[in-house]
Structure 1
Amino acid sequence: MNFEIGLYTLGDLVPDPHAGNTISPRQRLKETIEAAKLADEAGLDLFGVGEHHRLDYAVSAPPVVLAAIAQATKRIKLTSATTVISTADPVRLFEDFATLDLLSDGRAEIIAGRGAFVESFPLFGYDTNDYDDLFAENMDLFLKLNEADVVSWSGRFRSPLASAEIAPRPVQSRLPIWVGVGGSPESAIRAGRLGVGMAIAILGGEPERFKPLVDLYRKAGAEAGFVPEELKVGITGHGYVAATTQQAKEEYFPYYANYRSYVSRGRGTESRVTRAEFERLAGPDTALFVGSPQQIIEKILYQYELFGHRRFMAQIDIGGMPFRKVAEGIELLATKVAPAIRKETGK
């Protein structure tokens, strides 16, 4: 299996810390499609969009946005990042992504998770106290829908299915599904027992602290009867690439600090990242992927030694960053970083 490198976006609508303006949702979506097109043309492997249901994010319907991207691209894989499966109807979710798979000639995937906020629970009539039970039940049903054309099923949170025809069927024999994990051992074990991929969000700190999660995931998967090839690990994180590490840090810091402050306010807290803290977060041994192409290569390869993962996805467009900077980062990631990573991991 080749090492895959890609991008994801949450479509945040954050004021530019320099200019002070916030682009419109329409412009944000147009730029998201253009970023995916650039990534596809440059040879990156996958592109993801996340799900939020807030006025400060542009993407609430990942399969719709990904379907638009499918028409502008040719080969890049298309994934959610993430789908809040706890508050999604599994049948509608499967049909949406199966349709995306047909429209994209077999390029659709799903990363299922909780997401950064919980606004979808009251919006769609669910109780956050039922989070774990909803996740377990909806994952169980989705995996059954992925296996068979006709499904009978019953559960606690939605009406039962009696020999229900599940249409359309995707191009792929099964839609690839991953579980997004932020740091919970229980989530890692659950992903292993289900035999789905595990996408770990490492947004800062030392990557070594996530090694136990990978070990738990693989152990649980093996005990459930899955072979190593079925237990796929991916790493996701914030990143920014420039010609030199110093340039990358100078350019990225205002946007990163802006994003962190904005997200914390959305959660009802106030968190400001100082330049000194940012320097620590972006150090050579930490998980914030900010630097020259060589610095990013070294960080990815170090984590590859730790985890043995086969996929890395970077979020490079946060905090009101202008699209021209995103485009420059895509080019460097595709032309400088990706070839070196594929060469080293292919040995």
Structure 2
Amino acid sequence: MQFGIFTVGDRTTDPTNGSTPDEHRRIKAMVEIAVRAEEAGFDVFATGEHHNPPFVPSSPTTLLGHIAARTERLILSTSTTLITTNDPVKIAEDYAFLQHLADGRVDLMMGRGNTGPVYPWFGQDIRQGIPLAVENYALLHRLWREDVVDWEGRFRTALQGFTATPRPLDGVPPFVWHGSIRSPEIAEQAAYYGDGFFANHIFWPKQHTARMVDLYRRRFAHYGHGTPEQAIVGLGGHVFVRRNSQDAIREFRPYFDNAPVYGGGPSLETYMRETPMTVGSPQQIIDRTLSFREYVGDYQRQLFLVDSGGLPQRTVLEQLDLLGEEVLPVLRKEFAALRPAGVPDGPTHAARVAEQKAPQAP
């Protein structure tokens, strides 16, 4: 089981003091979060990709390349790579290059993002979001696996005899997750290729997440990649932790009430009851996270959002330390004890290289 942190890189005003980090401070803060995450014992750091205020991470490979030089074992990922508005040729080359720089510590999550205007900014039509995701990934998948590609599609110019450079490290492309909150077509796409499916697991009730993951697992088996239990699943989740649950709720409430994505809607208590958001003590975080497997099955990666909504950097780093000290060791032990034989571990470059080199059964 892999545990990590994901960030959307927002610059939200702190409602308790009215301060807003500038772009420089927020970018530097994301690097500091990643470094501290490794020190605290996390396995993964993932960044979103956004091209509009109030977000800053418009260039994930630049950010992750810098973090690669500052860390030693952390898996560097994206919590969204915009497969719809990025050229798949550029994705193929950028992430293979990053894979070499990071000695294989790279994977990425394909997604469509959460901002409609990004489509025309990059010359695309939002009404073609799903077809773009399907076609662009089909090309990307080939570019990483075929040395010379001839290709023709609807949304970009044709390729003749094209070779993406550099080639993937050790001949093994970065592992791909297909991320979605609401689109069954993306779960189907992940299943078709035998890739991972990441259910962001925020905003929606657990019944919705359970249906999406179940669809992916069933279709994964349908396409012959293994049993439903062997499908590779990741979950997101929003947490805020203090040693005392009352302190956690009191401190987090103004950030929840004023957050652009939460404010003006249900109360914090209602939101915690009806979605996977968990605000409380370490034991409450542990109990809630362990409950996820009751409705999605045993899964491979859990990412926590801890730095959005204007939280001070000091508070974010305290979250990482407390999670690393009191939550992760228990979760690792409990998930390992509960996992049946035959359920795969979270993907790593080393394991995938070894699998490729292993002799095939007759």
TM-score (ref. length: structure 2): 0.88
Question: Which runs of structure 2 are paired with 1:8-157 in the superposition (5 Å)?
Answer: 8-157=6-155
Aligned to 1:255: 255
Percent same amino acid at aligned positions? 37
Q: Which amino acid aligns with 2:33?
A: A
Q: What are structure 1's unaligned runs of at least 5 residues? A: 265-270
Aligned to 1:287: 276
Q: Which amino acid aligns with 1:18?
A: T
Q: Which amino acid aligns with 2:299?
A: H
* Cα displacement string for residues 20-64 of structure 1 (whole angstroms, at most 9, x for unaligned residues): 111111100101000000001121010011011112111111111
Aligned to 1:268: none
Is 1:186 aligned with 2:185?
yes
Q: Secondary structure at the match of 1:226?
A: coil
Q: What are structure 2's unaligned runs of at least 5 residues? A: 338-362
Provide the rounded CA distance (Å) in 2 between the counterparts of 1:55 and 1:150.
39
Q: Secondary structure at the match of 2:96?
A: helix
Q: Which amino acid aligns with 2:72?
A: K
Question: Which runs of structure 2 are paired with 1:219-298 in the superposition (5 Å)?
Answer: 219-228=218-227, 231-259=231-259, 262-263=260-261, 272-273=264-265, 277-283=267-273, 286-298=275-287
Deviation at 1:257, TM superposition (A): 2.3
Deviation at 1:243, TM superposition (A): 0.8
* Cα displacement string for residues 135-160 of structure 1 (whole angstroms, at most 9, x for unaligned residues): 11101011111212222211111112
Instruction: Answer whether contact 2:144 2:164 (CA < 8 A) is retained.
Output: no
* Cα displacement string for residues 54-90 of structure 1 (whole angstroms, at most 9, x for unaligned residues): 1211111111111111111111101111011101100
Aligned to 2:310: 320
* Cα displacement string for residues 223-266 of structure 1 (whole angstroms, at most 9, x for unaligned residues): 1111247621001022111112221111112112222xx248xx
* Cα displacement string for residues 108-136 of structure 1 (whole angstroms, at most 9, x for unaligned residues): 11111111212320111111111111111
Is 1:210 aligned with 2:200?
no
Is 1:299 aligned with 2:298?
no
Provide the rounded CA distance (Å) in 1 between the counterparts of 2:225 and 2:99.
25
Aligned to 1:165: 163
The 1:75–1:30 alpha-carbon spacing in structure 2 relative to 1, beyond 3 Å, is same
Q: Secondary structure at the match of 2:108?
A: strand
Q: Secondary structure at the match of 2:160?
A: strand
The 1:154–1:230 alpha-carbon spacing in structure 2 relative to 1, beyond 3 Å, is farther
Provide the rounded CA distance (Å) in 2 between the counterparts of 1:52 and 1:29.
13
Q: Which amino acid aligns with 2:264?
A: R
Q: Secondary structure at the match of 1:58?
A: coil
Provide the rounded CA distance (Å) in 2 between the counterparts of 1:139 and 1:230.
22
Q: Secondary structure at the match of 1:118?
A: coil
Instruction: Answer whether contact 1:106 1:170 (CA < 8 A) is retained.
Output: no
Q: Which amino acid aligns with 1:233?
A: V
Q: Secondary structure at the match of 2:89?
A: helix
Q: Which amino acid aligns with 2:280?
A: G
Instruction: Answer whether contact 1:149 1:167 (CA < 8 A) is retained.
Output: no
